[in-house]
Amino acid sequence: MDLEFLQSMDIQILVGVAVAALAIVVGAVYLFASTKSKGCLDPENFKEFKLVKRQQLSHNVAKFTFELPTPTSALGLPIGQHISCRGKDSQGEEVIKPYTPTTLDSDVGYFELVIKMYPQGRMSHHFRELRVGDYLAVKGPKGQFRYQPGEVRAFGMIAGGSGITPMFQVARAILENPKDTTNVHLIYANVTYEDILLKEELDSLAAKYPGRFKVYYVLNQPPEVWDGGVGFVSKEMIQTHCPAPAPDIRVLRCGPPPMNKAMTGHLDALGYSPDMQFQF
């Protein structure tokens, strides 16, 4: 009788140890997952990130690389959302402007911003003055765009100038996800060839994913030898280079206000319903 009692106690102890161990493992996994998903951003308060590299891409465009707290830290920015950056203009007044990083959360330890600096731009002044070792105040994530892999068959994208950054972020996230089969059709408009941002990266995506990613460049002032579009983005260009209206497609647009207004008119006229359109 005593032996049976002892054996029963041993089993109870072993079961208790196993349950406790399992609880510790589950708790650790949950803690890791929640920490990982949280990222480094705060939606309510600005946090400062150190500039560790500045690469001038053209006379008015530069790539800024900012360090995250650890080499394995992720920024914590959902696909298609942006951050608010705070700085000072040439008069010393505070200015806040939204930007979309060109990096994803899979790019751990850092994040990058490709910034076009305009002569009269208030935040442009801040970025012109920014030097390696300086800090940038950032808050986020921000934005209404939500994306789940496979939610549409294809995206059409119409971008102008620096409006390419959210498009590039979304396209990269889609194409680099082996479980996502969504196709991406991009129309990217600029004034001159030199104004095209991220061209090398876009061409690389087109070469790497030829069946899933297509980019059509449009220039208002093209060079003598040019095989892309000329002038402004037209209805005919959209018909040719974007997926036709359907319940399982969506067209994203991001550019200067006059362009966004014109594209809305084109898309409406071509039969794209409001549900099929999104403006960053």
The pLDDT assigned to 164 comes to: 96
pLDDT digits (tens, 9 = 90+) for 210-219: 999 999 999 9
Rounded Cα distance between 60 and 162, Å, is: 12
CB 267 within 8 A of CB 238: yes
- 114 annotated as belonging to a binding site for a ligand: yes
The pLDDT assigned to 33 comes to: 38
Task: Just list the catalytic residues.
Answer: 82, 99-100, 254
CB 112 within 8 A of CB 64: yes
Average pLDDT, the chain: 89
The pLDDT assigned to 258 comes to: 96
**Statement: residue 13 has pLDDT above 90:** no
CB 139 within 8 A of CB 86: yes
pTM score, two decimals? Answer: 0.82
Helix and strand totals (H; E) in the chain: 6, 12
∠ CA 13-15-19, rounded to 5°:
115
Q: What domains, with CATH codes, occur in the chain?
A: 47-142 (2.40.30.10), 154-279 (3.40.50.80)
The pLDDT assigned to 25 comes to: 39
Which residues lie closer than 8 Å to 238 by C-beta, 6 or more apart?
156, 158, 187, 263, 266, 267, 270
- 124 annotated as belonging to a binding site for a ligand: yes
The pLDDT assigned to 7 comes to: 52
CB 270 within 8 A of CB 165: no
pLDDT digits (tens, 9 = 90+) for 39-54: 999 999 999 999 999 9
- 98 annotated as belonging to a binding site for a ligand: yes
Q: Kindly report the number of other CB atoms within 10 A of residue 211's CB atom.
A: 6
Poorest-confidence range of 12-16, 177-181, 213-217, 275-279? Answer: 12-16
Amino acid at site 76:
G
For helices 199-208 and 164-175, angle between their N-to-C axes, nearest 10 degrees: 30
Residue 251: pLDDT band with limits 50, 70, 90: very high
The pLDDT assigned to 77 comes to: 95
- 108 annotated as belonging to a binding site for a ligand: no
Which tokens is 201 given?
A: 């990266």
- 29 annotated as belonging to a binding site for a ligand: no
The pLDDT assigned to 2 comes to: 52
Query: Taking residues 34-41, what's their average pLDDT?
Result: 64
SS3 46: coil
**Statement: residue 105 has pLDDT above 50:** yes
Q: CB pairs under 8 A, 24+ apart, for 45-49?
A: 45/139, 46/84, 46/86, 46/137, 46/138, 46/139, 47/137, 47/138, 47/139, 48/135, 48/136, 48/137, 48/138, 49/111, 49/135, 49/136, 49/138
**Statement: residue 37 has pLDDT above 70:** no
The pLDDT assigned to 6 comes to: 42
The pLDDT assigned to 21 comes to: 46
pLDDT digits (tens, 9 = 90+) for 76-92: 999 999 999 999 999 99
pLDDT digits (tens, 9 = 90+) for 129-142: 999 999 999 999 99
The pLDDT assigned to 8 comes to: 53
Beta bridge mates, 214: 185
